């Protein structure tokens, strides 16, 4: 699989860069290196601050603070001499001077105790001069309380300076020594600060370089592979066939690249399946559209046919209506004619029935007459043989008459049956005409 040019590393370099390690171990190493650099920077800063604090503390507590305390003590002794001088010249009274001197002695005691507590080696330097100075202050306190100006003047001009001046001179020398030592310590502090600044600068530069190296390693091992994979994903969206970079790695990025390769293969298969499904759906839609078009054409043809049939039906209905109108008119005429004919036929049937009844009556009377004639003929036959031929003729005539009367009777019965059937036919025709009139009315 082709990889970008930035990923084509020699095997030795790749082994040195630890691409075989897991991503968590690589990240842990980078974080450990960054933490080590940060710890080194913090230790360097703490060391510089500690050295600076030690020298500054030494300069302040062992040089500047003792100088300030010694200057305060010297100022207290000088103030006591000034108060005594003011009492001597009468500027203040002896009682006020004694009270002020008592306060100065109390402050001096506190200052000496504080100096002895902070810098006992410096306070021990004044062990020879301090007793004489304290005795001079005690003697001055006694004279001020007594209010003896003459002895005070004599004391100030000789013994007081003899007890206090050595201490003041010693304080001045000690102050100068402390000042010189403070100047040296200040120079040392300046050089130490400069060295600490150089060390911090070097450590900072080293930390920056280490951070840059760590960032480069992180970018090389982590960011660039992920960026290459992301770029591949962006190119994949444009349907490129390039392989996923980083599949030859043995860490999580390699696993991600392999998973993306498999996902890309699955996605391509899914895309092909989707395209096939889309083509099938398009073919189905095309067939459905064709089917819909054919269905629409059939529906249009059926609709046109239905319209034609409807028009033809309307035409047939109009034609039937016209035929029914004509049939109604003809039927009305026929009904009227049949009505009149039925009346006439009923009259004829009645007349025929009466005629047949009369014929039957006449035949009956003829039959009775013939019977009577036969009886008379029989009587005549018995009475006269001479009349036999006549009787025979008469008998033949009577038989013929009987036959004729039977035929008349049969014809009258037949006529009566025909009249009855004709009457029933007329009644059926009347009922049919009524039904036809009801249908025509509807």
Q: What is the mean pLDDT of the chain?
A: 72
The whole-angstrom separation of Cα 132 and Cα 12 is 86
> Residue 129's pLDDT is what?
77
Query: For 25-36, how does the pLDDT look when each residue is reduced to its tens digit (9 = 90+)?
Result: 777 777 787 788
pLDDT surpassing 60 at residue 13: no
> Residue 1's pLDDT is what?
38
> Under a CB-based contact definition with an 8 Å cutoff, are residues 44 and 203 in contact?
yes
Lowest average pLDDT, out of 5-14, 55-64, 212-221, 312-321, goes to: 5-14
pLDDT surpassing 50 at residue 76: yes
Query: For 104-127, how does the pLDDT look when each residue is reduced to its tens digit (9 = 90+)?
Result: 888 887 878 877 777 777 777 777
> Under a CB-based contact definition with an 8 Å cutoff, are residues 403 and 435 in contact?
no
Q: Distance of CA 422 to CAs 64, 367, 428, Å?
A: 169, 30, 10
> Residue 379's pLDDT is what?
67
pLDDT class of 352 with cuts at 50, 70, 90? low
> Residue 2's pLDDT is what?
39
Query: For 229-278, how does the pLDDT look when each residue is reduced to its tens digit (9 = 90+)?
Result: 777 676 665 555 666 666 666 666 667 777 777 777 777 788 888 888 88
pLDDT class of 15 with cuts at 50, 70, 90? very low
Residue 11 vs residue 416, higher pLDDT:
416
The whole-angstrom separation of Cα 87 and Cα 140 is 11
Percent of residues, the chain, with pLDDT higher than 70: 63
- Nearest CA to 147 out of 94, 189, 219, 194 is that of 94
> Residue 17's pLDDT is what?
47
> Residue 4's pLDDT is what?
40
Please indicate, yes or no, whether the overall pTM of this predicted structure exceeds 0.85: no
Q: How big is the chain, counted in residues?
A: 442
> Under a CB-based contact definition with an 8 Å cutoff, are residues 45 and 200 in contact?
yes
pLDDT surpassing 70 at residue 178: yes
> Residue 167's pLDDT is what?
78
Tokens 């013929």 belong to 400
The token pair that represents 66 in the structure block: 């003792």
> Residue 24's pLDDT is what?
67
Query: What is the rounded average pLDDT of the residues 310-337?
Result: 66
Query: What is the rounded average pLDDT of the residues 61-66?
Result: 68
The token pair that represents 216 in the structure block: 């480069």
The token pair that represents 407 in the structure block: 């035929």
> Residue 8's pLDDT is what?
40
The token pair that represents 360 in the structure block: 């039957």
> Residue 62's pLDDT is what?
63
> Residue 405's pLDDT is what?
64
> Under a CB-based contact definition with an 8 Å cutoff, are residues 396 and 357 in contact?
no
CA 97 to chain centre: 93
The token pair that represents 131 in the structure block: 């007793």
Query: For 130-167, how does the pLDDT look when each residue is reduced to its tens digit (9 = 90+)?
Result: 777 878 787 777 777 777 676 777 777 777 777 777 87
The whole-angstrom separation of Cα 56 and Cα 43 is 19
> Residue 75's pLDDT is what?
81
Q: Which H, E and C letters describe the chain, residue by residue?
A: CCCCHHHCCCHHHHHHCCCCCCHHHHHHHHHHHHHHHHHHHHHHHHHHHHHHHHHHHHHHHHHHHHHHHHHHHHHHHHHHHHHHHHHHHCCCCHHHHHHHHHHHHHHHHHHHHHHHHHCHHHHHHHCCCHHHHHHHHHHHHHHHHHCCHHHHHHHHHCHHHHHHHHHHHHHHHHHHHHHHHHHHHHHHHHHHHHHHHHHHHHHHHHHHHHHHHHHHHHHHHHHHHHHHHHHHHHHHHCCCCCCCCCCCCCCHHHHHHHHHHHHHHHHHHHHHHHHHHHHHHHHHHHHHHHHHHHHHHHHHHHHHHHHHHHHHHHHHHHHHHHHHHHHHHHHHHHHHHHHHHHHHHHHHHHHHHHHHHHHHHHHHHHHHHHHHHHHHHHHHHHHCCCCHHHHHHHHHHHHHHHHHHHHHHHHHHHHHHHHHHHHHHHHHHHHHHHHHHHHHHC
> Under a CB-based contact definition with an 8 Å cutoff, are residues 73 and 175 in contact?
no
> Residue 187's pLDDT is what?
80
Other CB atoms within a 10 A radius of the CB of residue 289 amount to 10
The whole-angstrom separation of Cα 175 and Cα 71 is 8
Give 265: exposed, middle or buried? Use CB within 10 Å, 0-12, 13-18, 19+: exposed
Other CB atoms within a 10 A radius of the CB of residue 249 amount to 21
pLDDT surpassing 60 at residue 355: yes
Q: Distance of CA 204 to CAs 31, 42, 45, 212, 234, Å?
A: 18, 10, 10, 12, 40
């Amino acid at each position: 699989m082709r990889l970008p040019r930035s990923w084509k590393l020699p095997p030795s370099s790749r082994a040195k860069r630890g691409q075989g390690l897991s991503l968590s171990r690589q990240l842990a190493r980078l974080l450990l290196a960054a933490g080590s650099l940060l710890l080194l920077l913090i230790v360097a800063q703490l060391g510089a601050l500690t050295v600076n604090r030690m020298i500054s503390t030494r300069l302040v507590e062992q040089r500047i603070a003792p100088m300030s305390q010694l200057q305060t003590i010297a100022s207290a002794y000088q103030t006591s001499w000034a108060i005594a001088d003011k009492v001597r010249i009468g500027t203040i009274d002896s009682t006020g001077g004694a009270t002020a001197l008592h306060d100065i002695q109390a402050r001096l005691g506190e200052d000496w105790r504080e100096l002895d507590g902070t810098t006992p080696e410096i306070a021990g330097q004044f062990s020879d001069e301090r007793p004489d100075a304290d005795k001079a202050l005690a003697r001055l306190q006694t004279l001020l309380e007594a209010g003896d100006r003459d002895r005070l003047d004599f004391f100030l001009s000789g013994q007081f300076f003899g007890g206090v001046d050595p201490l003041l001179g010693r304080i001045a020398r000690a102050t100068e020594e402390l000042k010189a030592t403070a100047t040296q310590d200040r120079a040392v502090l300046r050089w130490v600060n400069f060295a600490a600044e150089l060390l911090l600068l070097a450590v900072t530069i080293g930390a920056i370089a280490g951070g840059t190296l760590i960032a480069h390693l992180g970018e090389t091992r982590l960011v660039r592979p992920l960026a290459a994979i992301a770029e591949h994903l962006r190119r994949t969206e444009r349907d490129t066939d390039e392989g996923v970079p980083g599949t030859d790695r043995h860490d999580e990025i390699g696993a991600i690249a392999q998973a993306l390769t498999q996902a890309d293969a699955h996605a391509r298969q899914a895309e092909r399946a989707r395209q096939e499904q889309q083509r099938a759906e398009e073919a189905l839609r095309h067939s459905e559209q064709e089917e819909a078009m054919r269905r629409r054409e059939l529906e249009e043809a059926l609709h046109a046919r239905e319209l034609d049939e409807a028009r033809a039906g309307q035409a047939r209905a109009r034609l039937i209506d016209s035929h029914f109108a004509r049939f109604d008119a003809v039927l009305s005429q026929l009904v009227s004619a049949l009505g009149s004919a039925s009346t006439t036929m009923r009259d004829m049937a009645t007349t025929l029935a009466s005629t047949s009844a009369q014929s039957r009556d006449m035949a009956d009377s003829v039959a009775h007459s013939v019977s009577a004639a036969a009886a008379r003929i029989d009587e005549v036959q018995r009475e006269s043989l001479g009349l036999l031929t006549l009787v025979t003729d008469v008998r033949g005539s009577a038989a013929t008459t009987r036959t004729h009367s039977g035929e008349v009777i049969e014809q009258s019965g037949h006529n009566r049956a025909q009249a009855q059937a004709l009457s029933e036919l007329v009644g059926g025709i009347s009922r049919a005409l009524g039904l036809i009139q009801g249908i025509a009315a509807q």
